[in-house]
Structure 1
Amino acid sequence: MTKKKPLLNWSLTFIAIASIGYGLYHYKSSEIKTAMAQTQPEFPSPINAVTVDYSDYKERVTVPAEIVAPESLMLTNNFAGKITYLDLQSGSVVKKGQKLLQVDISEELAQLKTAKARSTLANNELARAKELHRKKLASDAALDQAQADAQINQAEVARIQAIISKKTIYAPFDGIVGLHTLSVGEYLAPNSQVANLVTEQPLLWVDFDLSQVQSQRLSGDKVEMVIENHPKTEFANIIAKEPVVNAQTRGVKYRAELQKTADMNLSPGTFVEVKLQQGQSKPKIKLPKHAVLRQQSSRFVYVLVPEKEGTYRAQRRDVSVFQDDSEFSYVSSGLKVGEQVVSSGAFKLYPNQLVSIKQADAQATK
């Protein structure tokens, strides 16, 4: 036991000395780092800033809408028959008045030839009857009969021509032909659906429904379009609305007109969303959307606090945002009018960082 005590004492002494040495080393290292930090200059990070101010805000609602072509129809035939003419390629562009399809009219052509011959004969007989009547050699009844026969034969010619016309489909307007599987020689039943024809115009209609309350609170005649995979904000002008409320939905249908551009992937029948302003304007704080950052469920901005020589400290401040759109965030609390907020470059900052204003952006109200 006596031999173990000196060994234990030496071990404890060694541990104590090592602990004191480590503590002194850590203390000196901290002092050196602090001194180096104090001697190294802090360079401000350049940012853009915006001054907080009120902006006129109107409540907005988002509703589904459908893209509609101003001219669109399903081509159908009136009479049954075998297809003898077909100039209707799927996806092709056709012009107004262009002959697209015709079913067999051989029987009608024969009937038309006969009817025209009878009409010519009736017209000749009418001319002779008029001459005889002028010379007092024919009665009024004979002249009336000749006139009636001529008109009857003319009507028969017109009837057969109408049948031929109804057995032929012409393009009612310039447009693009939809898909079909028809071919020459195929039999068509009456009122068969042939193909869709959709106008090729830069204008599209946007149809949407509003409830009675939304309709009453509608403000303005423009709607903002929400188009999938289209980054730009597009607007459509309201051009008409239904004069009556729908008996089933108790809603009101509206129609807006959209100027289509080449980068819009929109076709008739596409479903989109529209945003509409509601009610009267209210003063609200509006900031550029990229000025408001997000961390989990919280939203915050960097407020600029003057430092010295044109520099500022970027202090993080939580804010409450009640609505976002494609460009702006609307803040309900957390900021005061007149404060400056980092509007560009906020994502690279950390709290209390030294910054300088590279550019003062125009107020969000403008």
Structure 2
Amino acid sequence: MNIKRWLVSIALIFVVIASLGFVKFQQIQAAIAFGESFPEPSGSVKSEVVTTQPVSNKYEVVGAAKATKSLMLTTEFAGPITFLGYEPGDSVKAGQVLLRQDTSIDEANLKAAQARHKLAKAQYSRQATLLNQKRTSQNDVDIAEADMSIAAAEIERLQSVIAKKTIIAPFDGTVGLEDYQVGQLLDVNTTVTGLIGNSNEIWIDFSLPQTARQPDIGNSITVSTIGQNSRQFQAYIIARNPQINETSRQVSYRASLNNEDNQITPNQMVNIVVEGKKVNTVLVPTNAIYRDHTGSYVYLLKQDEQNNWRAHAVAVTLGKRMSNKQVVLSGLSGDEFIATEGAFKLSEGLLVYTQAPSKSRMRGEQP
């Protein structure tokens, strides 16, 4: 009797569980059907076919003028000034004495050194004679010769000191505005004046980013002065730094400019335009570029098996910006169909609604 009741109870439990499972299955199926009734996520964007255009390699940078001959004259020894041979801002000639320092003590020491040298020379001569007579040793002769050489070296040292206390212009040029007076005491390594050499040529130094298309030696550049009375000149690149600056990642260049009328002065800032040959370049609208922490991307639009447009991200390397266009250095070659306005809301594989391009546009022809 008890077994029959247990069997009935178990059967009833199974019936209840089966009923609940069937109801839940129906609910799940209904939820799935309800979800499938919603449309697939999608995005609406504008689009266009990527084109290539001849673009000149043009960069505008700021450079600086530099004299072909320029140096700072400084003192090597301390001492008071006894002679000044220039006025601030004077034009000087090569070999012209610009400044002398007091050398009276050095000249006295030179006379003493010359006397010691004379004595040492006589001592050496006597020792050499005695050696020939075998009345002295070779060691005494060597000592006398060394004393004579030391005295001669001392004379050369003092003559060098006296000469270096006279500052002479090494080339024709114009001195700076430094103002000194006779009797003024100058310390070691005191800057006396700057000297800018006379020349009809002036150098223009400038730098370009390493991502730019680098010009060749001999290429011309346009140099313009900064200010209200701006003037333009043509200069020619004569040198390039063999290494990139590790801080700025730029390449340094030097150009030569005819400055016969002295319109440009050393250290003057100038505007520079570097323009090369036109090359076919991929250009895309700036709103087609999507950027994140991993880089820059463009969304290609490709049709799937149902002829629906799908978004596919492609990494690109960007160049300079030109108005509302962006130069693409790599990643696109032209004739690709890409999303433009609204591309920021796309994701990989997303269904896209856009106007399909005509066959002529896909071939790169102008509409």
Q: Is the 8 A contact 1:115 1:153 kept in 2?
A: yes
Cross-structure match for 2:65: 67
Cross-structure match for 2:209: 211
Segments of 5+ residues of structure 1 without an aligned counterpart are 1-55, 284-320, 323-366
Q: Is the 8 A contact 2:220 2:234 kept in 1?
A: yes
Q: Which deviates more, 170-179 or 222-231?
A: 222-231
1:238 partnered with 2:226: no
1:93 partnered with 2:95: no
* Counterpart selection for 2:130 from 116, 129, 132: 132
Cross-structure match for 1:185: 183
| Corresponding letter in the other structure for 1:218 | P
Cross-structure match for 1:150: 148
**C-alpha deviations, 1:121-162, integer Å up to 9, x for none?**
111222222233233333211110111000110111112122
Distance 2:206 2:114 in 1: 54
Matches within 5 A, 1:285-364: none
CA drift at 1:107: 0.8
Aligned-pair Cα RMSD in Å: 2.4
**C-alpha deviations, 1:305-336, integer Å up to 9, x for none?**
xxxxxxxxxxxxxxxx98xxxxxxxxxxxxxx
Q: Is the 8 A contact 1:218 1:279 kept in 2?
A: no
Cross-structure match for 1:257: 256
CA drift at 1:255: 0.7
CA drift at 1:86: 0.9
| Corresponding letter in the other structure for 2:70 | S
Q: Which deviates more, 160-169 or 178-187?
A: 160-169
Q: Is the 8 A contact 1:96 1:172 kept in 2?
A: yes
Q: Which secondary structure does the structure 1 equivalent of 2:117 belong to?
A: helix
TM-score by length of 1: 0.58
CA drift at 1:282: 6.0
| Corresponding letter in the other structure for 1:258 | L
Distance 2:199 2:193 in 1: 19
Q: Which deviates more, 168-177 or 149-158?
A: 168-177
Distance 2:116 2:156 in 1: 13
CA drift at 1:230: 6.4
**C-alpha deviations, 1:106-128, integer Å up to 9, x for none?**
11111011001111111122222
CA drift at 1:231: 6.9
Distance 2:116 2:203 in 1: 52
Q: Is the 8 A contact 1:217 1:279 kept in 2?
A: no
CA drift at 1:226: 1.4
Q: Which secondary structure does the structure 2 equivalent of 1:146 belong to?
A: helix
Q: Which deviates more, 168-177 or 62-71?
A: 168-177
**C-alpha deviations, 1:185-216, integer Å up to 9, x for none?**
111122112111110111111000111012x4
Q: Is the 8 A contact 2:224 2:230 kept in 1?
A: no
| Corresponding letter in the other structure for 1:221 | N
Matches within 5 A, 1:112-131: 112-131=110-129
Matches within 5 A, 1:215-230: 216-218=213-215, 221-228=219-226
Number of paired residues?
228
Q: Which deviates more, 67-76 or 225-234?
A: 225-234
* Counterpart selection for 1:199 from 172, 175, 197: 197
Cross-structure match for 1:82: 80
Segments of 5+ residues of structure 2 without an aligned counterpart are 1-53, 282-321, 324-367
Cross-structure match for 1:247: 246
Q: Which secondary structure does the structure 2 equivalent of 1:213 belong to?
A: coil
CA drift at 1:103: 1.5
| Corresponding letter in the other structure for 2:236 | N
**C-alpha deviations, 1:59-102, integer Å up to 9, x for none?**
31111110001111121112221111111211212222222111
- Calculate percent identity across the aligned residue pairs: 36
Cross-structure match for 2:336: none
1:267 partnered with 2:241: no
Cross-structure match for 1:173: 171
| Corresponding letter in the other structure for 2:204 | V
TM-score by length of 2: 0.58
Q: Which secondary structure does the structure 2 equivalent of 1:201 belong to?
A: coil
Cross-structure match for 1:45: none
Distance 1:261 1:163 in 2: 39
Cross-structure match for 1:277: 275
Cross-structure match for 2:305: none
CA gap 1:272/1:251 in 2 versus in 1, 3 angstroms: same
